[in-house]
Each structure stands twice: as structure tokens, then as C-alpha cells.
Amino acid sequence: MELKILTLKEDILGVNKETAAKNQARLDKHDILSINLMSSPGAGKTSLILQTIEKLKSETRIAVIEGDVASSFDAEKIHQQGVPVVQINIPGGCHLDASMTETALNTLPLEETDLLLIENVGNLICPAEFALGEHKKVILLSAPEGDNKPQKYPLMFIEADVVLVNKVDLLPYLDFNTTAFNQAVNELNPGVKIFPVSCKTGEGLEAWLSWLENEIKQVKNHRNS
Ligand code: MG
Ligand code: ZN
């Protein structure tokens, strides 16, 4: 598939919910598990997607939606892996919404997809407010950002199904307090899964990948039951 780049305008919050529900029904019809991946800029969303593709590509058919204010750097990297990808650019925007997702879905081979990874715009604030039709919300925080992000951006952490802490290979050089971080996340979202990972060294990725594989399996089992 050719790499497509779409330039789109933001939706308003009211209509968003309805469109998100429509998107989810459409993904369900195709037995696709969809993940809305959110983080600050530079936390490692694209690296996580590339690692996930590398590890799961042989058994899982993956498609990707890339959200960015401008450029298609991230989508190019994914395109090089031979995975269907569509880049959404939102000039002056700061989050993806459901109608953008709908437009992107129109360009992807849904019949041949098991897992849809949606990389939201790098921003810890409003992406949490706009449902896209995803089944799971995954928050990625990188250790250099500090351990107090849950207190500063609570909504993101309250909404998360999984919290990944990336760049843990740098922990020896940082003041990041893992115990304090885990405690803060648990206060906002009791029992949420927290996976420490390094997309650079590959450390900790098995836990993330096995969570993901299990979720994909549940979608397939649901179809067969
Ligand atoms: Mg990226
Ligand atoms: Zn926004």
C-alpha cells in the first residue's frame, strides 16, 4: 500500500462521541483491536510502534494511523516496514478526533487487519478527552519527563488501560522515583497495568507484547464464540 498523507481539521467534542461509537462498531465488525497511543512529544510512541511491528508482524496483521501537527517522518519509518499506514496532519491542532480517524479508516485495508495502532499527537492534555473509537487507551511516559506527570496531567492517567514507562535504560542517570510514580498512578487509576520498558534496548517489552497478544486473542475468541 502507498503511504497516504491527509490534512484534516478538528471536530467538536459533542459530535465526537457518536462518530467514535461508529468507528468502534466498524472495527468490531472486522475483529480489529484498536489502541489509542498517547504521550508527550518525544516519549517514544513511534519507537514503541516500530518495536511492536518487528516483534508481532509475523503472526499479526498490523495497520497504523499516525497523527502529527506536520510532517510524515514517523509514517515514513512505519511505511518502510511494509505495514499499511496513513499519516494525518492537523495544522494548528493538538489531538486526533473521531472524524479524522473515520477518514483514516477509509484508506486502510480493514479486511486484512488484526491490530490497529493509532499514534495520537504528542500532547498529555486534550487527546485524553477525544475518543477515537479505540478499544484501549495506552499512555506512554518516558522516564526523563519525571515521576510527577500523573499529578500534573491526571486525566490521561485516569483514562489509561495501560501505562508504559519508556527509556528505563536511563534510570541510573535520572532522579525518577519508580515507587512514587507507581503509587501516584495507582491512586488515580487503581490496578492499572504499568510496564517499564526500553524501546532502545528491548528491556521489558515482553510484558507489553504479551498483554497485546492476549487482547488480540480475546477479540478473535469473541468472534468464534
Ligand atoms: Mg511519533
Ligand atoms: Zn487538542
Quick one: 112 exposed, middle or buried, by C-beta within 10 A (0-12, 13-18, 19+)?
A: exposed
Closest of 220, 161, 214, 212 to residue 49, by C-alpha: 212
CB atoms within 10 A of CB 175: 8
pLDDT at 223: 72
The CA 40 to ligand 1 mean position distance, Å, reads 10
pLDDT at 225: 67
118 Cβ partners below 8 Å, 6+ apart? 34, 35, 36, 37, 64, 65, 67, 96, 101, 132, 134
Closest of 95, 90, 102, 152 to residue 119, by C-alpha: 95
The CA 211 to ligand 1 mean position distance, Å, reads 22
Task: Output the nine-digit C-alpha cell for 100.
Answer: 479524522
The CA 41 to ligand 2 mean position distance, Å, reads 13
The CA 95 to ligand 2 mean position distance, Å, reads 4
As a whole number, mean pLDDT of residues 174-196 equals 98
As a whole number, mean pLDDT of residues 91-118 equals 96
In the DSSP assignment, the letter for residue 152 is H
Say how far residue 195 (Cα) sits from the centre of its chain.
14
* pLDDT tens sequence across 40-91: 999 999 999 999 999 999 999 999 999 999 999 999 999 999 999 999 999 9
pTM for this predicted structure: 0.95
Query: Which protein residues have a CB closer than 5 Å to ligand 2 (ion)?
Result: 94-95, 126
User: Over 80: is that where the pLDDT of 126 sits?
Assistant: yes
The CA 169 to ligand 1 mean position distance, Å, reads 20
The CA 47 to ligand 1 mean position distance, Å, reads 7
Closest of 140, 191, 192 to residue 166, by C-alpha: 140
